[in-house]
Amino acid sequence: MKVRSSYWHLLPYLWPQWLLLVRGFACILGFVLLTLALPYLAGQVAFFVGQGNVNQIAYWLGLATLVFLLRGLCQYGQNVFMIAAALNMVLNLRKQVYAHLHKLGLDYFETTQTGDLTYRLTEDIDRVGEIVDKLSHQFLSNLLQLIVIPIYMIYLNWQLTLAGLILAPLMAWLIGAFGQRLLVLSRQSQNQVSNLSALLTEVFSGIRVVQAFAAQGYEVKRFNQEAEQHRQAKYRALQLKSLQFPVVGFLEAVSIMLLFLLGGWQISQNQLTPQGFISFLAAVAILIQPIDLLISNYNEYKQTEASVERIFELMAQQPSFSEKPNAKELPRIAGKIEYRHVNFAYNPGQPVLKDLNLHAAPGNVIALVGASGAGKSTLINLLLRFYDPQAGEILIDDIDIRDVTLTSLRRQIGIVPQDITLFSGTIAENIGYGQEELDLSAIEAAAKIANAHSFISQFSQGYHSWVGERGVNLSGGQRQRLAIARAIVNDPRILILDEATSALDSESEALVQEALERVMQNRTVFIIAHRLSSVRRADCILVLEQGQVVEAGTHTFLLSQEGRYARFYAQQFYSTDEAESRE
Ligand SMILES: Nc1ncnc2c1ncn2[C@@H]1O[C@H](COP(=O)(O)OP(=O)(O)OP(=O)(O)O)[C@@H](O)[C@H]1O
């Protein structure tokens, strides 16, 4: 079965640029026609130079100047229109691929390398723009020449034309075969660059760990190996390209020798004059440049096909689940949450949550405790609908969360994650993250509740201070308070606190705790608990073990049961408890 070239996927993105393309093609046509006029003008000038007719020479030179000017204008037009069309197409493609990626679930990003995605969205798309620009520039003018010149050659001498073109099918086959192989090698080379980019993103974002483990040497070695593989892949592609031109050049030379043989014979038979033979050879010489240009265009076309494939691989990714077509907006909620017989597995046959039931009334604080891997984060992931359970249902205010839009669901859940991500931008933008129009009064109010207002006010630019690279330095406690402010800025009824395990100094800890106490008021709160104070004040503690709730109740109740919680508490919190009571 013939596989359709992946370039066809570009048509819908190129089509809206038709007006620019038409203008570009009109300029190309003008350029080619004006170029064809030049030999005629040169002939006229040469003729009057021979006669010494200065007036006529001046007249024809004036005309030639006009032609050069117009031709230059057409050249400028063809470049500018084609570049504009290619860049618009690239912009549209890039926007749509990026928007499409945001439709994909967390599962996709958890299994994809960030650097690879970055490379596809930047380098690969740029390459596509360049080839579209190049092909639209050169293709038509070369094609026109390839049509017109052979017609002229047939008019001059059809037997010689036939002899000259006898090796053309072999050449075309060779060019095609080289192109196919080049596509394979380019794909390998592109994948290698992507791997390099992925490695760099990973290492630089984890540079603290790299340095803490004194693993610079190890990372340099890993990079060198990847870089070497990239060199090899690139070398193979370039080696093939280097072979292509001598091979095709040899066939061209053989064709010309055949012409000499046949031409010489025709001259000996008085079927051709030497002048006629020279004219024919001149036409062949003119034809060689467009042929060579088309070969190199074709090579680039094949090389870039790998990039086109890599881009449309992203577009072909389907979200593992999506909103129902008739999904409704979740109305402002009170905060009642129910899990009914929920079963979930990330991978088939490896259940993570098993027949899980839970009920939280509005305003309840639920602490989730359990050993690492028990399923605490997974339970939260399902509430945010990062994943859907395979069986059972999750209800908020008696509404199945699968019946509502993801945005309206997630906007009503605030989250303070364990690893706090601050984006490049101002403090206000970070607190009001996701707001299209920043609501500065809400941001300031949230910062006050989160005990962040006073330290923000001490920065010279206050809420407009820059965070991220080259921005203000924030301590761990300050970052946590910003994260708390961000979680509550939209006043969500449900709050998720994934407690940080790393300890803060006691003053910072007290400020964070105070902020948390405040934001938990009147909200349904899930705490993935690592601190004693959180579990103690919870209305209900759920002890998870291998994806099941094995005990539930208040701190005192569960301690009195002397069951798993009591044991867990002794192991997990006892030392903290001792330390706290000693203070
Ligand atoms: N994205 C994922 N893909 C596959 N398996 C996963 C994924 N995330 C978690 N798991 C697995 O699911 C199980 C429950 O993980 P989960 O993160 O919910 O536990 P947890 O109780 O939150 O642990 P911790 O306290 O260490 O964060 C673990 O066995 C874990 O390996």
Q: How far is CA 367 from the centre of its chain?
A: 38
- Closest C-alpha to ligand 1, atom 26: 372
Among 112, 369, 376, the mutation site with the greatest number of ligand 1 atoms within 8 A of its Cβ is 376
C-alpha closest to that of 93 among 148, 17, 22? 17
Q: How do residues 494-532 score in pLDDT, each as one tens digit?
A: 999 987 666 667 777 788 888 888 888 889 999 998 776
Q: Is the CB of 12 under 6 A from ligand 1?
A: no
| Cross-strand bridge partners of residue 553 | 541
Q: Is the CB of 373 inside a 6 Å radius of any atom of ligand 1? A: yes
* Residue type (1 letter), 178: F
Cα-to-centroid distance, 113 and ligand 1 (Å) = 19
Inform me whether the pLDDT recorded for 582 exceeds 50: no
One fold for 326-412+492-503+515-583 and 422-491: yes
Q: Where are the domains of the chain?
A: 1-102, 326-412+492-503+515-583, 422-491
Is the pLDDT at 577 greater than 70, yes or no? no
Instruction: Quote the pTM value.
Output: 0.76
Tell me what the mean pLDDT of segment 357-361 comes to: 92
pLDDT tens for 192-226 read 888 888 888 888 888 877 887 778 888 899 899 98
The verdict on the CB of residue 366 being under 6 Å from ligand 1 is: no
Q: What's the sign of the alpha-carbon dihedral 233, 236, 239, 244? A: negative
Report how far residue 544's alpha carbon sits from residue 377's, in angstroms, rounded to the nearest whole number. Answer: 11
Residue 376 CB–ligand 1 contact under 6 Å: yes
- Sign for the CA dihedral angle at 269, 271, 273, 274 comes to negative
* CA neighbor of 433 nearest in space, from 423, 441, 420: 423
Q: Which of 352, 382, 415 to mutate to test the pocket of ligand 1 (most atoms within 8 A of CB)?
A: 352
State residue 434's pLDDT score.
83
Q: How far apart are CA 284 and CA 286, in angstroms?
A: 5
- The CATH number, out of the four listed (1.10.1040.10, 3.40.50.300, 1.10.10.60, 3.40.50.720), of the domain defined by the range 326-412+492-503+515-583: 3.40.50.300
- Residue 70 pLDDT > 90: yes
**Apex 161 CA angle, 158 and 163, nearest 5:** 115
Give the residue whose CA is nearest to atom 28 of ligand 1: 373
Q: At 399, give phi and psi (nearest 5°).
A: -105, 130
290 Cβ inside 6 Å of ligand 1: no
Question: Angle formed by the axes of helices 158-165 and 216-268, to 10°?
Answer: 150
Ligand 1 pocket member 109 (CB < 6 A): no
The reply to whether ligand 1 has any atom less than 6 angstroms from the CB of 374 is yes
- The CA distance from 12 to 33, in Å, is 31
SS3 537: helix
More confident residue, 545 or 139: 545
- Our answer on whether the CB atom of 381 is closer than 6 Å to any ligand 1 atom is no
Identify the CATH class of 422-491.
Answer: alpha beta
Given ligand 1 and candidates 350, 378, 501, 542, which is best to mutate, with the most ligand atoms within 8 Å of its CB? 378
CA dihedral for 324, 328, 332, 337, sign (positive or negative): negative
Instruction: Please list, residue by residue across 230-239, b when 16 or more beta carbons sit within 10 angstroms of its beta carbon and e when fewer do.
Output: beebbebbee
